Amino acid sequence: MPEVESGAARIHYEVSGQGPALVLAHGAGGNCLSWWQQVPFFAQQYTVVTFEHRCFGRSQCPQESFHPRHFVTDLLAVLDAEGIERAALVCQSLGGWTGLPTALQHPERVRCLVLAGTPGGLFTPKVREAAAPVAAGAGREGIRGNLALAPDYPRRRPDMAHLYDAISALNTGFEPGLLRSLIDADSRIEPGQLEGYAVPTLILSGECDQIFPPEALREVAGQIPGAELVSFPGIGHSTYFEDPEGFNARVLEFVSRHA
């Protein structure tokens, strides 16, 4: 499996399929394995790149070097290692802190951006309201299925909820308290920074999201120029995991228009 050096980190990544590049950036409960319902689907038409954020999964990094400020550099290191000039970015939760900053700082590398269950570091009033208690709670316990899925999902699908937690448990190098760095001042994007932003952007929101509720992501969509917003009824924070068919279809339609 390929790895690339990025500062103090060695970033693990995987490549499947052929065609235009599509990158999947996992959330704080995930790693490359999280995308098991997406990689085979998209690899039929795209070169699909999954990677593990520093300290997650098989990516190696001292915990003192974990911070979202490094995420853009890490992603560019992966793209450069594979000779990928431009890619569609699909980002879940924590992964949004990679995707939106990359689109802002390096729009020439991003064909389009999908933000799933994430403000991407954009701090609007409702995101601020939601982020502080989530960062505190997740900093104690990490992101597990009881928070990252719809409230009734573990009862309806105990097998899948167990799988979610089993995938999350593979992140043995990540200390949950590090999630508090997501609300640091230098991890935030303020709405004024989006002036002139022109990367096509789609926001996917679960109506039962317990981390970033629909009203927060609607506010985010209203601040990102040209952003489209799609809501998933009855779905929680992890649309990619809870409704893979709906997630894949929406992402494919959007990416196909821009890739």
Long-range contacts of 151-157 (CB under 8 A, 24+ apart): 151/208, 151/210, 151/236, 153/236, 153/242
pLDDT band at 144 (very low <50, low <70, confident <90, very high): low
Quick one: how far is CA 56 from the chain centroid?
13
pLDDT value of position 122: 96
pLDDT band at 176 (very low <50, low <70, confident <90, very high): confident
What's the rounded mean pLDDT across residues 199-207?
98
Distances (CA, A) of 211 to 64, 117, 147: 25, 8, 7
Long-range contacts of 53-56 (CB under 8 A, 24+ apart): 53/11, 53/25, 53/26, 53/94, 53/95, 53/98, 54/6, 54/9, 54/11, 55/9, 55/171, 55/173, 55/174, 55/175, 55/178, 56/26, 56/30, 56/31, 56/171, 56/173, 56/174
Question: Whose structure tokens read 């290191």?
Answer: 77
Cα distance between residue 239 and residue 9, in whole Å: 29
Supply the DSSP symbol for 189: B
Q: Are 148 and 141 in contact (CB under 8 A)?
A: no
Judged against a pLDDT cut of 70, whether residue 142 lies above it is answered with no
Judged against a pLDDT cut of 60, whether residue 139 lies above it is answered with no
- pLDDT, tens digit, for every residue of 77-130? 999 999 999 999 999 999 999 999 999 999 999 999 999 999 999 999 999 888
- pLDDT, tens digit, for every residue of 17-60? 999 999 999 999 999 999 999 999 999 999 999 999 999 999 99
pLDDT value of position 131: 79
Average pLDDT, the chain: 94
pLDDT higher at 88 or 178: 88
pTM for the complete prediction?
0.95
User: 27 is written with which tokens?
Assistant: 């959330």
Domains contained in the chain, CATH given: 3-258 (3.40.50.1820)
Cβ–Cβ contacts within 10 Å for residue 197, how many?
Answer: 17
- pLDDT, tens digit, for every residue of 226-247? 999 999 999 999 999 999 999 9
Q: Are 237 and 217 in contact (CB under 8 A)?
A: no
pLDDT value of position 113: 98
